[in-house]
Amino acid sequence: MQLLLVCLLAAAFMTSNNMVTPLAPLAAAGFHASPAVVGLVVGAGSFLPLLLAIPAGALTDRIGAKRLLVPGLLAIVAGTGLAASRPGLGPLTAGMVLLGLGQFGATLGSQALVAHMPGRSRNDTFAIYAVAAAAGGLLGPVLAGTLAARLGIAGALGWATALAAAAALVSLGLDPRTAPGSGQRVRPRASLQQAGQLLATPAIGSAIGVTALILFADDLTASFYPVLLAARGVPLAVIGVLISLRGVASLAVRPTIGRVTRRIDRWWLVAGAMAAEVVGTAVVPLSSSLALLVPAALLCGAALGYNQPLSMAIVTDHAPAGQRSSALAMRLAGNRVALVASPLLLGLVVSGFGLPACFAVAAVGPLLGMLYVLRFQLRGGEAAAGAVGEAAASSSAAQSAR
């Protein structure tokens, strides 16, 4: 029942977030922002979560997941509501900052709850959770495009606010005992040392790195993907459908993760996902034909669909039981690095070389990630990483006992 509630609220707030994804850059462009400023607005929500990730992970391990999740959902409500109700780049940017903080808290809190749920392997529980998140990725852009065409961007953002409020109401039914927290206060220096130990575990560091690289490319959907298509005359509703096709593919592949990973090593699946992201990103500027854009969207959706739950399972499998929230927070911090860097760096590329060039640059990230994973596998892969992870966990336990 608890997993069902987490999945319901995840679907609701992810739908809300994925409605904002195509609307924010379009709103910024509507205020006559330059490409660099569009990138700054889109990336604004990732700055503070990046700085707060490590202490937030330690805080969640101490106070419990629900006590971070609920304020996070309320911050999403506040951020989307501000962007919907006040026109201008200032309110839009402030709303994105609040939304970014809320999304970080809600994501970390919900993932920490899933990581502590008994009865299933983490590959399976995170795959189920990821299906709900992918449903939000599927519905959000379609709703955004449809509602924006009828009600305008502000009206569509108002509906996104209502969905976030619904998620906050669902969260009240969660049992805080699922991931109650240890109650032990961790000093800032100790939390940094703990984070360093987790990051030094090869499997955890590798999972965080490749996820950041794939998100660097995928974040184009929140920045210059809709801008490029709109500039080429693709209607808003069609742009929303194309972004939602990524959600369709992501949703379709996630239920297969448990079955596939029982047959092949999950790192080979991660490498395949990176390859799909490279192709799906690089071909977008070649044509505005749906015959090209649809397969590209499906490839990118499948890539994210496999990568996200696998990376969550990997970092929690290799982290000590009392540090799972910290490991997930570090993964989210890596994601935020990508979400900050992608619109800012690609905005500079657009300013200097035009919109098509940023897609080629973005594809380099997952290409490097794929090559790294192949090298990681050839050097022993997760088996070797697991041995190092167990040693790190033993060391951490010994330090805690002193």
Sign, CA dihedral 246-293-281-150, equals: negative
Q: What is the pLDDT at residue 390?
A: 40
Q: CA-CA distance, 305 to 303, in Å (whole number)?
A: 5
Written as one string, the DSSP assignment of 203-242 is HHHHHHHHHHHHHHHHGGGGTHHHHHHHHTT--HHHHHHH
- CA torsion angle for 382, 387, 388, 393 (degrees, to 10)? 120
Task: State the DSSP string of 275-334.
Answer: HHHHHHHHTGGG---HHHHHHHHHHHHHHHHHHHHHHHHHHHHSS-GGGHHHHHHHHHHH
DSSP 31: T
Superfamily per CATH, domain 2-175+198-388: MFS general substrate transporter like domains (1.20.1250.20)
pLDDT at residue 224, as a whole number: 86
Structural contact between residues 385 and 202, judged by C-beta atoms closer than 8 angstroms: yes
pLDDT in tens, 15-66: 998 888 778 888 887 887 777 788 778 777 777 887 787 777 777 777 777 8
* CA dist list (Å): 183 to 3, 14, 39, 61: 23, 29, 40, 8
| Residues 22 and 75 sit within 8 Å (Cβ to Cβ) | no
Query: Does the pLDDT value for residue 163 go beyond 60?
Result: yes
Chain position carrying tokens 């092949």? 264
- Helix boundaries (H) for 116-187: 122-171
Q: What angle do CA 168, 139, 299 make, to 5 degrees?
A: 125
**Mean pLDDT computed over 79-93:** 86
Q: What is the pLDDT of residues 136-161, one digit of tens each?
A: 877 888 888 888 888 888 889 999 99
Residue 391: pLDDT band with limits 50, 70, 90? very low
Is the model more confident about 26 or about 360?
360
Report residue 179's pLDDT band, with 50, 70 and 90 as the boundaries.
low
Q: What is the pLDDT of residue 73?
A: 93
pLDDT band at 360 (very low <50, low <70, confident <90, very high): very high
Write down the domain spans for the chain.
2-175+198-388
pLDDT exceeds cutoff 60 at 385 = no
| CA 333/CA 193 separation, integer angstroms | 16
Cβ neighbours for 333, distance < 8 A, ≥ 6 positions apart? 49, 50, 53, 54
**What pLDDT, on the 0 to 100 scale, is given for residue 300?**
93
How high is the pLDDT of residue 372? 87
More confident residue, 280 or 21: 280
Statement: residue 354 has pLDDT above 90: no
pLDDT above 70 for 119: no
What span, in angstroms and rounded, lies between the C-alpha atoms of 88 and 124? 44
